[in-house]
Amino acid sequence: MNRIPVGILGATGTVGQRFVQLLADHPWFKPIALAASDRSAGQRYADACHWLLSEPMPEAVTALVVRPIKLSLDCHLVFSALPSDVAGPVEESFAGVGYAVCSNAAAHRMDPDVPLLIPEVNPDHTELIDAQRRRHGGEGFIVTSANCSTTQLAMALKPLHDSFGLRQVSVVTMQAVSGAGYPGLPAMDILDNVIPFIPGEEDKLEQEPLKLLGTLGDGRVTDAAFVVSAQCNRVPIRDGHTECVSVEFEHQPDVGAVKAALREFIGPSRVARLPSSPARPILVRREADRPQAARDRHAQEGMSISVGRVRPCSLLDVKFVVLGHNTLRGAAGGSIHNAELLVDQGWIAR
């Protein structure tokens, strides 16, 4: 197929750079418009962007001139990596004039007619797009990816909820500094330290999994009925969020059955064939000291999550540790995966 031209809003930021990196050689999408704030607009991308990734900036984008965020990008699909307060009205405007918007920002995640999407978890929720299109009266729409700490939690919970029914979930996070964007936290705050507060994060982690694992019917999503209690911490790790999770089930399984449900999860077969789908969305580690951020965050190009230490819990039923890459599966990679699903399902024309 010819590659679909796409734009990136917030292309100079932490997540925007991941979009640029992942889209440079993507088989279905071609980045043709990079947009950012007035600080960057008008400069060559190579000059405007403080490149943070270890791999070099893709040659094809270095000379592209950064565009302002205007409704005149020569494409029908845009990826949004804008700060949430900016993203709200901007994404609404793009969708209103006919763009498909795949967003990483929190602004529209909980809107009733906006899909909050992880392809292996709830691919049917794209049907909400019909309701959005009726509201706009046009072809445009917004689809969101989950918060970077929600994504891996929801992926691990999906096979457990399907198999055994979830009642209660307790999660304690250790979140990387790249999750705060660039320049993020001052070194004097985060070095040699753990900060037990990330604004807005606990609410997202308590609410988003319920929508993701909710049931679609009559054009709306009914939230899943379990309860999540979250405690979020920022730790001096560059990339990769680690979470300690305890779960209580409706139908109490043994630990072996929990491990098997996690290990065997692959999601729908059509999703498994998308370009960004990993062979195994969930890798279950057998070692006593894994997963580890430094060693496991890049598993399957950063698109697999890693689960380990699955064992009985003396308060709830079972506890485990889950790790995911926050700017790959948890942000740009997840959003591109969503766009692939939208193309596969026919919501975005090839």
Q: What are the distances in angstroms from CA 232 to CA 87, 114, 243, 246, 302?
A: 23, 26, 9, 15, 22
Interface with ligand NAP by CB under 6 A: which range of 206-214, 249-257, 262-270, 322-330? 322-330
Site string for ligand NAP, 266-305 (x = CB under 6 A): ----------------------------------------
Cβ of residue 331: shortest distance to ligand NAP, in angstroms?
A: 4
User: Backbone phi, then psi, for 68, in 5-degree steps?
Assistant: -75, 165
Can you tell me which of 163, 330, 337, 347 binds ligand NAP, judged by CB under 6 A? 330
Q: Which residues of 7-31 are buried (b: 16+ CB within 10 A; e: fewer)?
A: bbbbbbbbbbbbbbbbbbebebbbb
51 binds ligand NAP (CB under 6 A): no
Site string for ligand NAP, 202-241 (x = CB under 6 A): ----------------------------------------
Number of residues that bind ligand NAP (CB under 6 A): 30
Can you tell me which of 32, 73, 82, 102 binds ligand NAP, judged by CB under 6 A? 82
122 vs 335, beta carbon nearer ligand NAP: 335
Cβ of residue 14: shortest distance to ligand NAP, in angstroms?
A: 4
Q: Is 309 left (phi over 0), alpha (psi -120 to 50) or beta?
A: left
Cβ of residue 269: shortest distance to ligand NAP, in angstroms?
A: 28
104 binds ligand NAP (CB under 6 A): yes
Can you tell me which of 20, 22, 36, 61 binds ligand NAP, judged by CB under 6 A? 36
* Active-site entry in 26, 125, 241, 337: 241
Task: Please indicate whether residue 241 is annotated as part of the active site.
Answer: yes
179 binds ligand NAP (CB under 6 A): yes
User: Which positions lie near ligand NAP, rule CB under 6 A?
Assistant: 10-16, 36-37, 39-40, 69, 81-84, 86-87, 104-106, 148, 178-179, 181-182, 326-327, 330-331
Task: Catalogue the active-site residues.
Answer: 148, 241
